[in-house]
Chains A and B, each alone.
Chain A
Amino acid sequence: MAKTSVSSPKNVERAEYFAPGHRACQGCAEALAVRLVLKALGKDTIVGMATGCMEIISSPLPLTSWRVPWIHNAFENPAAVISGCEAGMKVMMRKGKLPEKKINFVGMGGDGATADIGFGPLSGALERGHDMIYICYDNEAYMNTGIQRSSSTPYGASTTTSPAGKKSIGQHTQKKNMVEIAAAHGIPYVATACPSFPFDLLEKVKKASETPGPAYIHILSVCPTGWRIQPADAIKYGRLAVNSCVFPLYEVVGGKHRLTYKPSEKKLIPVSEYLSGQGRFRHLTDKDIEQIQAATTLRYERLLKLSEEG
């Protein structure tokens, strides 16, 4: 298990780069994730953001919650836009038009922007090898437009365009594995994170910032509104997702997989504990849950093996 360099809130950056007054729902763990990410990156950061929850709640003209330079251009293209910022800045510094300075170029998008509509532009940016970070804030549906399914919605979840019904279990496909897809591009750093494990998240963002070349971080962003849970439980459910191995915390560094957190025997829980209490899964039968447990166990075991090899 990795020893994080920051393990107490007291050592976390105090400055707030994501100002209050933003219009995220009560208990939005995605807003918390953004807040924490910016603490790890610091003020020398330029953010390119996709249309989506975070963009809308943080930028209603004439107000902005951003205390770092920020650009929203369209839905599917933050990876491309921020790669343009990186390219432009790189050249201008090289030509002496601007003084040299280490700047973090960070593309941010939700699961819809990343796994669906922005899949092509993301792949292109990663392939081109820009010195940038792309962060996917995964709340597992198109939440901003009313909880419609994305390819990142997990099997069995009920959304407004994959509703559970007499003839449907809800989402009938498996969650697209963006983490492995990013890793398949051969980029130097890929990681999963969750604000319920804040020090692990901060450490990974810092690592991504210090790794030259493209980095991809996939952050599970618990959405009380869309997942139909109490706002106060947002952090709890992130923990349950990780401890049930539904969302394992790991890195792929130079192509090598490494779990950064393995739930101990005491902490490990069955997926049923994670699924229960979430309105979007309430229609699932015991048999459905068994199926999900089997798939989760298989996936985790594969990851364990990859993590141990080499």
Chain B
Amino acid sequence: MGKVRKGVEVSIAIADAVAQANVDVIAAYPITPQTHIVEHLSEIVADGELDAEFVPVDSEHSAMSVCCGSAAVGARTFTSTSSQGLALMSEIFFIAAAMRLPMVMALANRSLSSPLSIWNDHSDVMMVRDAGWICVFVENGQETYDNIFCGYRMSEDPNVMLPVAVNLDGFILTHMIEPVEYEDDALIRQYLPEFRMKNALHPDNPVSMGCFGMPEIYTETQMNREVGVKNSYPHIIKAWDEWGKLTGRHYRPIETYRADDAEYCIVTMGSYGETAMEVVDALRAEGEKVGVVKIRLWRPFPLDEFRKTVLGKKHLIVVDRAITFGGQGGPVATELRSALYKKDGAPTIVNYVAGLAGRDVSRKDFRNIILEGKKKAESGDTEGFTLYGLRG
């Protein structure tokens, strides 16, 4: 396929990206709102457009298990899930990262039960914060398409060897038709080297994967992992830089919009960012010195970039899309408060939780959040969080 710009449902764009990436194994279980991704992938495979094994598993737990087996033999592996599916596979989700098995997952963020909800929020990915996966957030169809390739580039890099989750807001992105520029197959082949895995399972080089750890050695395995995650960071950046050189679209762990000279900023993660940018433009026209700080790389958390971006600002209004029950508010706000602890020039942080289960957060709502949030910050009302739009 040559370079072409088309209007396409984002789910379809993901499937097309997976095909262009010449993935070997796809193992996924259907769950709203990810279904279009796997349906289109199975069509692509059925028509012979992609030579891959589409493994129709019996559950998400088996999906991640099949992915681990596939990655362990060095095959390029893809999966996709949401919400309850992520919860069910969470046991193996943690193990995949611990065993350093590369793969890419399109995680169509959806709220966790109970009550059952098929609509978007970030409670699913927040559940697996500590799993050790690389977590990237995208805002639109183009970013989603691009980050499938960047995901493989990062994941399979021998200096990284960590699974990657590309987080996209369920329905809001998965089911939206967006303009996406598809890259040329040759460019993709140039960008993505063939996956070569050291110690892949093969009779010619037998190894044992997943031996158990006694107390005498477990701590050392964890340090080995921790250092592995830290050392992967520059290679994550490199994967994005290389993509930027080839396509002109640059991705960074923290991205900003009109934040350089801003006095205070709204912090978003995911598709909110686009709406926030429009609202900031309107507020700027009214004289507000406000900007947007967007977290693109959630894990490993880009501590230095984040501090560099926000230290010296007066306030941050953090808009979370999940609650940490019994904790200090939303997970992102909690993370950022911790990142700024005792740093000179640390801004005040005010936390809003909005858009749970896909409830629409309009430009008007963002405007309210920003202006109200600023007032709260100025009056020192920074404890806990505000559940925006709550009735009662």
- Please list the residues of chain A having a beta carbon within 8 angstroms of any beta carbon in chain B: 43-46, 48, 55-56, 59-64, 66-74, 76-77, 80-92, 94-95, 97-98, 101, 103, 120-121, 123-125, 127-128
B25 at the interface (CB under 8 A from A): yes
The 5 sampled A-B contact pairs (Cβ below 8 Å) are A77-B62, A82-B69, A84-B65, A84-B72, A87-B69
Report B89 CB to chain A, min CB distance, Å: 10
Point out the residues of chain B lying under 8 angstroms from A124, CB to CB.
57-59, 62
A43-B203, A74-B95, A101-B203 are contacts. A127–B58 as well, Cβ < 8 Å?
A: yes
Chain A proximity mask over B69-95: 1 for CB below 8 Å, otherwise 0: 111111101000000000000011001
Point out the residues of chain B lying under 8 angstroms from A59, CB to CB.
208, 210-212
Beyond A43-B203, A66-B206, list 10 extra A-B contacts (CB 8 Å). A64-B211, A69-B202, A71-B201, A86-B69, A87-B70, A89-B75, A91-B75, A94-B51, A120-B61, A124-B59
A91-B25, A92-B24, A124-B62 are contacts. A84–B67 as well, Cβ < 8 Å?
A: yes
B381 at the interface (CB under 8 A from A): no
Report B345 CB to chain A, min CB distance, Å: 45
B99 at the interface (CB under 8 A from A): yes
Point out the residues of chain B lying under 8 angstroms from A84, CB to CB.
25, 27, 55, 65-73, 77
**Of B25, B77, B217, which contacts A62 at CB under 8 A?**
B217
Interface centre among A66, A87, A97, A124 (most CB of B within 10 A): A87
B203 touches A46 (CB 8 A): yes
B212 touches A61 (CB 8 A): yes
Interface centre among B25, B58, B65 (most CB of A within 10 A): B65
A88-B75, A121-B62 are contacts. A83–B211 as well, Cβ < 8 Å?
A: no
B56 at the interface (CB under 8 A from A): yes
Point out the residues of chain B lying under 8 angstroms from A73, CB to CB.
65, 68-69, 92, 95, 99, 209-210
A69-B206, A71-B209, A83-B66 are contacts. A88–B59 as well, Cβ < 8 Å?
A: no
A56 touches B69 (CB 8 A): no
A77 touches B27 (CB 8 A): no
Report A124 CB to chain B, min CB distance, Å: 3
B73 touches A89 (CB 8 A): yes
B207 at the interface (CB under 8 A from A): yes
B360 at the interface (CB under 8 A from A): no
B52 at the interface (CB under 8 A from A): yes
Beta-carbon nearest neighbor of A65 in chain B: B208
Report A220 CB to chain B, min CB distance, Å: 26
A80-B66, A85-B70, A128-B56 are contacts. A70–B75 as well, Cβ < 8 Å?
A: no
What separation, in Å, do the CA atoms of A85 and B201 have in the docked complex? Answer: 8
Point out the residues of chain B lying under 8 angstroms from A81, CB to CB.
65-66, 68-69, 72
Point out the residues of chain A lying under 8 angstroms from B67, CB to CB.
84
Point out the residues of chain A lying under 8 angstroms from B335, CB to CB.
none
**Of A64, A71, A92, which contacts B74 at CB under 8 A?**
A92
The 7 closest A-B pairs by CB, nearest first: A84-B69, A124-B58, A88-B75, A80-B65, A72-B210, A84-B66, A88-B70
What separation, in Å, do the CA atoms of A125 and B92 have in the docked complex? Answer: 17
What separation, in Å, do the CA atoms of A55 and B51 have in the docked complex? Answer: 35
Report B88 CB to chain A, min CB distance, Å: 11
B24 touches A74 (CB 8 A): no
B221 touches A80 (CB 8 A): no
Report B90 CB to chain A, min CB distance, Å: 11
B206 touches A70 (CB 8 A): yes
Point out the residues of chain A lying under 8 angstroms from B65, CB to CB.
73-74, 77, 80-81, 84, 121
Report B224 CB to chain A, min CB distance, Å: 11
What separation, in Å, do the CA atoms of A85 and B200 have in the docked complex? Answer: 10
Chain A proximity mask over B41-58: 1 for CB below 8 Å, otherwise 0: 000000000011101111
A68-B203, A70-B206 are contacts. A88–B211 as well, Cβ < 8 Å?
A: no
A61 touches B214 (CB 8 A): yes
Point out the residues of chain A lying under 8 angstroms from B208, CB to CB.
59, 64, 66, 69-72
**Of B66, B95, B211, B212, which contacts A87 at CB under 8 A?**
B66
B69 touches A48 (CB 8 A): yes
B211 touches A72 (CB 8 A): yes
A56 touches B212 (CB 8 A): yes
Beta-carbon nearest neighbor of A44 in chain B: B203
Interface centre among A56, A59, A69, A128 (most CB of B within 10 A): A69
